[in-house]
Structure 1
Amino acid sequence: MGRIILENIKLFGFHGCMPEEKYVGSNYTINIEIELDIYDASITDDLSKTINYVHLYSIIKEEMKINSKLIENVAKRIIDKINFKFHKMIKYSKIKLCKENPPLNNNVDRVCIIIENFT
């Protein structure tokens, strides 16, 4: 077993319940962790034997473009799409999605949610 981890992906999006969040937007940080069998890829040096992290990043980027009221919804869409596309390879997946500088009077650096899936 092994893990592919994309750390601290920085993207901008328009997610939130407050009307101004749909126009002003916010910065987001996303971490994704995928567990799979990477033995064949490590021996053969063959990209088709693993999950290309470029594809993972593309899914995250595309889903972040779709506005949502809740970051829980964004994270669930991302992890569901990844699990659907690579379901034959993934044993475990985890996403941590954080809204940077949420509208809480500058008293909170970020608000994060975590979703884990065991397959």
Structure 2
Amino acid sequence: MGKITVSNIRVYAYHGCLEEESIIGSDYLVTVEIKADLEKASVSDNLEDTVDYVFINRVVKEEMQISSKLLEHVAKRILGRVFNEMQSVTRAVISVSKMNPPIEGDVEMVTVTLKEKRE
């Protein structure tokens, strides 16, 4: 078993419950942690035997471009694609962070994290 982490994928997107958030947009950071059997890849040195982190990055960017009110909804869509399109993944953790959220106070970011494992 092994773990691949793609950290802090930077995306500009349009998520939020406030109308201006869907117009103005905001900066987001997304981190994806994948657990999978990496033994074969460690021996073969073939991309086909591992989880392609270029593909993970593309999935995140595509799903972040679909506007949602809640970060939980975006994270769940990313999780769904990870499990549907990468059969070798046994567990995944997705964290979606909204930078400078429009709430009162000096808040650097708000982060939602969802976890899932293959049954």
TM-score class normalised by the smaller sequence = over 0.9
Find the aligned partners of 2:83 and 2:117 in 1 and give their Cα distance.
10
TM-score if structure 2 supplies the norm length? 0.96
Q: Which amino acid aligns with 2:60?
A: I
Shift of 1:85: 0.5
Q: How does 1:1-119 map to 2 (within 5 A)?
A: 1-86=1-86, 88-119=87-118
CA distance in 2, matches of 1:118, 1:63: 20
Alpha-carbon distance between aligned partners in 1 of 2:105 and 2:21, rounded to the nearest angstrom: 15
* Structure 2 unpaired stretches of 5+: none
Match of 2:41, SS state, is helix
Larger CA deviation: 4-13 vs 105-114: 105-114
**Aligned-pair distance for 1:107?**
2.1
> Once the 2 structures are TM-superposed, how far is the Cα of residue 60 of structure 1 from its aligned partner?
0.4
Structure 1: distance between partners of 2:107 and 2:74: 20
TM-superposed deviation, 1:113: 0.5
Question: Shift of the alpha carbon at 1:106?
Answer: 4.2
Root mean square deviation of aligned Cα: 0.8
Secondary structure at 2:56 match in 1: helix
In the aligned structure 2, how far is the partner of 1:13 from the partner of 1:117?
24
**Identity rate of aligned residues, in percent?**
37
User: How many residue pairs are counted as aligned between the two chains?
Assistant: 118
Structure 1: gaps of 5 or more residues: none
Q: TM-score, normalised by structure 1?
A: 0.96
